[in-house]
Amino acid sequence: MSKFIHLALALAAAGIFFGGCSAISPKVGPEQDASTGCASSSSSSPYGGYPSSTAAGDAGACAPVQDPRCAADAGYEEGDCDRCEDTSCCAQRFTCYDDPACFNADEDLDTCVEDAKASDAGDEDAARAACWSTFTDLPGPLAKNLRDCEAQHCKDVCEVP
Amino acid sequence: MKRRGSGAHGFAFFLFVAAFFVLRQAEAIEHNVAGSAQLDYHFVPTERDANANAGTFSTFDGFTVEAAMKLSVDVSPHLSGNVKVCFGCHGFEADMFYFDLRAVDELNLRIGRFSPSFGSFNLRHDPANHKFSDKPLPYDMGRMLRKNIWGNGVLPAPFPDNGAEIDGTHFFGDAAQMDYAAYAVMGFRNDQPNPTDLNFQEAHVPNYFVDNNARPAVGARLALTLRASAATDATVGVSGMFGTYDPNNDLTYAIAGADLAVRVQRTNFRAEVLARRTQFDTSNPAIFKYALSPADGDFFMKDGAYIEAEQPIVRDLDFLARIDGMLRMGNVLATTPLSDKSSVVRESLGLAYAVERNFRLKTSGELWQFSDRDPETGRRLEVGIHLGAVATF
């Protein structure tokens, strides 16, 4: 029954409208190691035959990949906190940014911290700590990993409580 | 850390209340106020500790409320206005705030904030207008299991947007009618550094309700209704939408849909299918689970469909059945448990009991079948139970 429904979904959604042309048939290469950008030896993908790409485009080099968005001239640095994150917490930062929920939680954190600074209500430190607590309450490890890395390497410039 | 301005919590609600009290003084203007509220409890016994919200997928189990108030005003025989403020998981938001300038039945200009015409479920997205507690998966907005890894439905409803729409209806006597709509709206967005999917959360506070790329998204809908009698009819429709979602206008999305609804007395049968093609940024291949294919490797497909039936058992009790699902094909982020071909199918059975005319109890049970295992529990099958109540005025 389940296979039938899967087949019906695929046929109905793709075939009826577009006739199954390549414009709606995405392809992928072999599964790659997330830490290196290299093709995994255990990959079972049918699309073998060409090397995996690395960030630098030197296919087949398979050296550990540094996210190019962490480069100083990549356009993602607006202050000391960003520079410290790119230097010491690159993977944690962009792994968070690439996840919609973590990205939005990080934006909420920024807004919350700014509001805490602008507020005349009292204890700014307590308000900022509450902002970070909300951020790390996000289910999953992404927000916590970023917070832990910043606390270890960028505590002062990122004002981590 | 990024910088972003603060949102406008409560502003739409303030405008709604202000407009309501101002319009009460205008005796010559016809207006109508309506409202609805649904409370639902979603229990997922198969999750660890029966707490689906504790896992990595951030499912909204437990209690949720969806409530809305709508004000409709006929300013003149040709001009009307509608304001709808809803309250849900994101707090108060303006679901509608638009004016209709109607020349004839066949020509109406709609401007403001509204959900553009797409599919048939769009007309029933208010929980008072559908008998299951939650939406079909292709239109799911945050209620599905594993919602974060799936990124919600194909086209989460409602999808209010700022723009303009031309629509109309031509009647062929009492036997048939043709509806059409064409629109230009802001469109969906994603301001992340390397966009890989639409980010529906950017349509809500604390983000600004403005376009991120100065290019409208466009779309259209065409539907034909045939009537055999006053209580028996059938509607078939097709819809499409196209736009770019990144700040540089480089990444496109296209959504196509078809729908069928048949009503025979009080029995309803509905079927709908949606397909979305979404391009993603490939400037950093290392963020993907699979190596980028040199051909047709810069987009994914997300398709969804549902069929459902409503059958009265006795006068106030309806039996409900629905099968819905989604299929995602193409590359995925390295951080997700999804594969290059992931699917989810849900089978639901339910009852809706009208305690009185404007108050209904809802309950349903659902079996979820995921193609990928939950990395924490190893499960592919999940079970969910809904118990809800909805009231209107």
Q: Please report, for residues A64, B226, B278, the alpha-carbon distance to residue B337 in angstroms, rounded to integers and kept in the order given.
A: 22, 45, 19
Q: For an interface test with B, give the residue of A107, A128, A137 to mutate (most B CBs within 10 A).
A: A107
Predicted local confidence at residue B371, as pLDDT:
95
Q: How far apart are CA A24 and CA A21, in angstroms?
A: 6
pLDDT of B198 above 50: yes
Confidence of residue A13 (pLDDT cuts 50, 70, 90): low
Helix axes A100-118, A142-153, angle to 10 degrees: 50
Nearest CB to B2 within list A8, A13, A107: A107
C-alpha count within 13 angstroms, C-beta hemisphere, residue B208: 9
Q: In the predicted model, what is the mean pLDDT of chain B? A: 90
Q: Is pLDDT larger for residue A156 or for residue A37?
A: A156
Q: Is B317 helix (H, G, I), strand (E, B) or coil?
A: strand
pLDDT digits (tens, 9 = 90+) for A58-111: 334 454 456 777 777 777 778 888 888 888 888 888 888 888 788 888 988 988
Distance from CA of B366 to the nearest CA of A (A): 14
Q: How far apart are CA B29 and CA B75, in angstroms?
A: 6
Q: Choose the weakest-confidence range: A121-130, B227-236, B261-270.
A: A121-130
Distance from CA of A67 to the nearest CA of B (A): 7
pLDDT digits (tens, 9 = 90+) for B357-382: 899 999 999 999 999 998 878 899 99
Q: Please report, for residues A23, B154, B252, B343, the alpha-carbon distance to residue B276 in angstroms, rounded to integers and kept in the order given.
A: 12, 6, 10, 14
Q: How far apart are CA B44 and CA B59, in angstroms?
A: 10
Predicted local confidence at residue B53, as pLDDT:
77
Confidence of residue A125 (pLDDT cuts 50, 70, 90): confident
Predicted local confidence at residue A21, as pLDDT:
67
C-alpha count within 13 angstroms, C-beta hemisphere, residue B193: 23
Q: How far apart are CA B276 and CA A13, in angstroms?
A: 9
Contacts of B290 in chain A (CB under 8 A): 28-32, 45
Contacts of B6 in chain A (CB under 8 A): 111, 114-115
Which sign does the torsion angle of CA B143, B147, B150, B155 carry? positive
Cis? peptide before B206, omega within 30° of 0 = yes
Q: Is pLDDT larger for residue A101 or for residue B350?
A: B350
**Euclidean distance between the first and final Cα of chain B, in Å?**
46
Q: Is pLDDT larger for residue A155 or for residue A55?
A: A155
Is residue A133 within 8 Å of A140, Cβ to Cβ? no
Q: Is B342 helix (H, G, I), strand (E, B) or coil?
A: strand
Is residue A153 within 8 Å of A89, Cβ to Cβ? yes
Q: In the predicted model, what is the mean pLDDT of chain A? A: 72
Contacts of B199 in chain A (CB under 8 A): 100, 103-104
Q: How far apart are CA B218 and CA B230, in angstroms?
A: 35
Q: Choose the weakest-confidence range: B81-90, B94-103, B112-121.
A: B81-90
Predicted local confidence at residue A159, as pLDDT:
87
Q: What is the pTM of this model?
A: 0.76
Q: How far apart are CA B68 and CA B274, in angstroms?
A: 26
C-alpha count within 13 angstroms, C-beta hemisphere, residue A131: 23
Closest chain A CA to residue B5: A111
Contacts of A105 in chain B (CB under 8 A): none
Predicted local confidence at residue B143, as pLDDT:
87
